[in-house]
Amino acid sequence: MQDLDKHLERVVRRQMSRRDFLKGAAALGMTFTVAGPLLAACGGSEGSSDAADKTLKAAFISNGEVGVGNFEITGYNAFNEMVATYGMESEYAEATPYEQAPEVLTDFANRGFDLIIAHSGGFQSAALQVAPDFPDSWFVWTIDGDSTGGLPNCAIYAFSTNINYVSGAVAGMMTKTNKIGVVGAIPIPGIREEVASFIDGAKYANPKIESAEVIWINSFMDASKAKEAALAMYGRGADVIGHVTDQAAAGLFQAARDTGNRACGECYDEVTTNPDVVLTAGIFNESLSMNDLGKRLTEGTLQPTIYKGGWPEEWIIQGSYNEAIPEDVVAKAEAIKADLISGELVWDPRKVPAS
């Protein structure tokens, strides 16, 4: 328990009323549409007039830090948009290891949170463990997951895992050595599929790809390990490397910079933050999914099911293209994206090896 107490002391938790959040947002020049009277529901129960004046409490739990990188910051920003739109109070717990998640989830549930969002499929087992003891709280996890355990207060917002397919296609068309690579974080199922989508997209656009190496660094945040892995792959001839990490991607980008090579981003439009090395990036459009979640919760229509979305639903979008990419490559990438959206091109999900 001492280790847990120390972790909880490190965790940043911030409670924020609608007024406080909107005041801060206004200072930053941000605007949101705020919903009218709330019809609150929790634990799968029907909304009622008795709950109309209730201010819902929502929590956000992340494995990484919410203010840096690409993945957690995207989800956390979308969470805050939802909180503002639907007038919720909120807290968050960042840097939460998967093995300590049951205690953190339990803490939020004990304090009466109506909605507890775990921002990774890696939290699924913890949520399924805790949820039966707190029927009045909704436990929702995203970006992936495969089972709600038949529990009436659990839901999943699952994104298609082909987020990197178009980026992979760009890598395949831009490589000069026909060798690419991917830096992977922790090899949980969804991430293994995201890595595969990059590789398969590259091979679809360029059948001459000779090798597609994957190195797992077992961390979302360790930039030094990501740099070491990227340097090793660049040293073996890869000239474009993608990633499925979070703030660790900074190490990949530095390796690309140091060696004169290229990289692809993920989750955030990392061309805007690293324009000298990043070619493009697939993005989880969590603003849409979080808004849907907030709407369903306040209306009392949230169901214990798996909600799914991908390219056709615009839950996945493609970020900008580096100005160094030739126009014909951008055109081909956009055509591939259009085929994914229309369903003419269907990617059969697969998992790369975990080691």
pLDDT digits (tens, 9 = 90+) for 29-49: 443 333 322 223 334 444 444
What is the band of 52 on the pLDDT scale with cuts at 50, 70, 90? low
pLDDT digits (tens, 9 = 90+) for 123-178: 999 999 999 999 999 999 999 999 999 999 999 999 999 999 999 999 999 999 99
**Residues forming a β-bridge with 179:** 211
Average pLDDT, the chain: 89
Distance CA(47)–CA(301), nearest Å, equals 8
- In percent, the amount of the chain with pLDDT more than 90 equals 85
- Position 295 scores a pLDDT of 98
Residue 237 pLDDT > 50: yes
Residue 252 pLDDT > 80: yes
pLDDT digits (tens, 9 = 90+) for 217-228: 999 999 999 999
Mean pLDDT in residue range 321-343: 98
> Using CB atoms within 10 A of its CB, is residue 276 exposed (0-12), middle (13-18) or buried (19+)?
exposed
**H or E segment to which residue 341 belongs:** helix 327-342
**Residues forming a β-bridge with 284:** 316
pLDDT digits (tens, 9 = 90+) for 68-121: 999 999 999 999 999 999 999 999 999 999 999 999 999 999 999 999 999 999
Mean pLDDT in residue range 274-291: 98
Tokens encoding 188: 């949980």
Q: Name the residue with higher pLDDT: 278 or 18.
A: 278
Report the CATH number of the 2-161+285-309 domain: 3.40.50.2300
- Position 146 scores a pLDDT of 95
How many helices and strands, by DSSP H and E, does the chain display? Answer: 11, 12
- Position 6 scores a pLDDT of 45
- Position 54 scores a pLDDT of 85
Distance CA(264)–CA(244), nearest Å, equals 10
- Position 118 scores a pLDDT of 98
Planar angle of CA 74, 78, 82, nearest 5 degrees: 170
pLDDT digits (tens, 9 = 90+) for 290-321: 999 999 999 999 999 999 999 999 999 999 99
- Position 35 scores a pLDDT of 33
Distance CA(58)–CA(139), nearest Å, equals 10
What is the pTM assigned to this prediction?
0.84
- CB-CB contact of 62 with 119 (8 Å): yes
- Position 10 scores a pLDDT of 40
Phi, psi dihedral angles at 95 (to 5 degrees): 50, 45
Domain(s) labelled CATH 3.40.50.2300 in the chain stretch across 2-161+285-309, 165-266+325-342
- CB-CB contact of 184 with 76 (8 Å): no
Through-space distance between the first and last CA atoms of the chain, rounded to whole angstroms:
32
- In percent, the amount of the chain with pLDDT more than 70 equals 85
Closest CA to 79 of 269, 286, 282: 286
Eight-state DSSP code of residue 57: E
- CB-CB contact of 128 with 122 (8 Å): no
Report the CATH number of the 165-266+325-342 domain: 3.40.50.2300
Q: What is the DSSP string of 292-328?
A: HHHHHHHHT---SSEEEE-TTTTSEEE----TTS-HH
- Position 53 scores a pLDDT of 67
pLDDT digits (tens, 9 = 90+) for 54-76: 899 999 999 999 999 999 999 99
